[in-house]
Amino acid sequence: MNSTSLLVFDGLLLVSIVSLAWAALASIDARRSVILFMAFGLVLALAWARLRAPDVALAEAAIGAGLSGALLLAALHDHDRTAAGVGSSSTQNQTSAGLTTVIRWSVTLLCAALAVGLGWALVHVFDHPANDALARAVAENLDLSGVSNPVTAVLLNFRAYDTLLELAVLLTAVLGIFALGPARAGYQPAGLIFDGLTRWLVPVLILTAAYLLWVGAHAPGGAFQAGATLAAAGVVLRLAGRHQIGLPAARTLHIVLAAGVGMFLLVGFALLATGRAFLGYPPAWAGSLILLIETAAMLAIAATLVSAFVGGQPESVTIDNEE
Amino acid sequence: MINALSSLLILAGLFFYIAGSIGLLRLPDLYSRLHALTKADNLGLGLLTAGMALQMPNLMTALKLVIIWLAILVASATSAHLIARHARRRESRS
C-alpha cells in the first residue's frame, strides 16, 4: 500500500478518534456516552496498531474498550436501578446538574491545558535528534532477559519493579471493591441463544488467554492482555446469568488475588537469598521465572477484573464466610 | 487476475456496508434497522474477508481471517437477537 492512501487512512482515524471523543463527552444520555466511549477505545486501539505498538493496541482493545465498557455499563445499570428505587427530588437534581457543569468545564479546561502542553512538547521534540539510548540499551541486553519480546523484557525484567507496583495497585483496588460489601445480585439466566454462545465462547477465551500468556515471551501479548481476556470469560458467564462465574471459593480467591504480588515478592526474596539483587534474575533462569510470575499475575489480574465487574465480594465468598 | 477478483469482492463488500449503514439511518424502527444492519454487514464482512484472504501470503493467514469472520458472525447474530428480544420484552411490558 502506498504512503498517500495510508495518510488518508491515518487522517480518517484521527478525525474519528476526536469526533468520537467529542460525541462521547457531549452526549446527554449516559448510556449513549458509554457506547461511544467503547467505540472510541476500539478506534484508539487501531491507532496504536498503526503506531506499531501492538502490545498497547491489544491492551487498549481488551481493557480500554472491552472491560471498561462492561464495567461502565454495569455501573449504569446499577445506578438506574437505585435511582428508580429512591426517586430524587428536583432541587437535588438542580444542584447536581450545576455541579456536573462545573466538573465538566474544569475537566475540559484541564484537558485543554494538557493538550497545549503536549503539543508544545511535540513541537520541541522535532528540534532534537532522536534519543534512542534506552531502546538501544534494551536491544543490547535482550539476550540476557530470558525473553525475545522487548516489551516483556522491559515490563518483567528490566523494569520489573514498575510491574510489581502496578499489581500492588490492582490488589489495593480489589480491597476497595470488597469493602463495598457483598456483590450485586446476578442477572437472569440467559436464553437459549446467548447460553449457546457462552458454551463455546468461554473455552475459546480461556484458550486465547493461555496463548497470549505464552506468546508474550517472543511476540505481543503478556500477563495483562491474557488476564483481561480471561476476565472477559468471567464477564460473559456473569452476563449469561450463571451462578458460577469462574471465581474460586473465598480462601482460594484471596490467594489468587494476592498471587501476582505474592509471586513477584517470592521470586524477588528467593533471589536475594541466593545473593543476587532483588528481581535480578540469573539469565539462565530468567525465561522460566518470568513465565512463573506472569502466570500468577494473569490469574490475579483476571480475578481482580471479574471482582470489579461483580462489584463487591462475590457471592460464593460471603456464603463461605458464613459457614 | 487475483488482484481484480479481490478488488471486486472488496468493493461488493463495501456496497453492502453502505447499504446497511443507509438502512440504519433511514429505516423507521429498531427491528428493521437491526435487520438491515446485521444482515447486510455480515454479508459485507464475508465479501471483504474473501477479498482480503486472496491477498494473504499463505493459507494459514487466510484461514485466520475466516476464523475472525466466523467469530464476528456468531457475535453479531447473538447480539442482534439479544437487542431485539430486549426491545420486544420492553414493548410487551408497557
Q: What is the pLDDT of residues A61-73, one digit of tens each?
A: 988 888 999 999 9
Q: How close, in Å, is residue A201 to chain B by CA atoms?
A: 9
- Predicted pLDDT of residue A279: 84
Q: What is chain A's mean pLDDT, rounded?
A: 86
Band (A93; pLDDT cuts 50, 70, 90):
low
Interface residue of A31, A35, A187, A194 to substitute, partner B, most B CBs within 10 Å? A194
* One domain for residues A155 and A244: yes
Chain B residues 7-66 with CB within 8 Å of chain A: none
pLDDT at position A169 over 90? yes
Q: Do B78 and A191 touch (CB under 8 A)?
A: no
B contacts of A191 (beta carbons < 8 Å): 85
Contact predicate A167/A260, CB 8 Å: yes
* One domain for residues A145 and A294: yes
- Predicted pLDDT of residue A322: 39
This complex has an ipTM of 0.82
* One domain for residues A276 and A138: yes
More confident residue, A36 or A4: A36
> Any idea which of A199-203, A275-279, B64-68 has the lowest mean pLDDT?
A275-279
Write down the residue that cell numbers 439466566 correspond to: A189
B contacts of A194 (beta carbons < 8 Å): 78, 81-82
Question: How many helices (H) and strands (E) are present in chain B, helices listed first?
Answer: 3, 0
CA distance B90 to A186: 20
- Predicted pLDDT of residue A94: 64
Domain around A270: 131-323
Q: How close, in Å, is residue A247 to chain B by CA atoms?
A: 24
* One domain for residues A193 and A112: no
* One domain for residues A5 and A72: yes
Band (A315; pLDDT cuts 50, 70, 90):
low
B contacts of A193 (beta carbons < 8 Å): 78, 81-82
> Any idea which of A86-95, A203-212, B77-86 has the lowest mean pLDDT?
A86-95
Q: Which residues pair with A313 in a beta bridge?
A: A182
> Any idea which of A135-149, A158-172, A229-243, A251-265 has the lowest mean pLDDT?
A135-149
Going A63 to A43 to B79 to A203, the CA torsion angle's sign is negative
Residue after which a domain boundary falls, among A75, A103, A128: A128
Domain count, chain A: 3
CA distance A233 to A70: 12
- Predicted pLDDT of residue A84: 67
* One domain for residues A160 and A288: yes
* One domain for residues A145 and A248: yes
Contact predicate A309/A232, CB 8 Å: no
Averaged pLDDT for residues B69-84: 89
Band (A314; pLDDT cuts 50, 70, 90):
confident
* One domain for residues A146 and A285: yes
Residue after which a domain boundary falls, among A101, A128, A155: A128
B contacts of A5 (beta carbons < 8 Å): none
Contact predicate B27/B36, CB 8 Å: yes
* One domain for residues A199 and A265: yes
A contacts of B81 (beta carbons < 8 Å): 193-194
Averaged pLDDT for residues A61-89: 79
* One domain for residues A272 and A168: yes
- Predicted pLDDT of residue A91: 55
Q: How close, in Å, is residue A196 to chain B by CA atoms?
A: 9
CA distance A18 to A39: 12
* One domain for residues A156 and A172: yes
* One domain for residues A174 and A293: yes
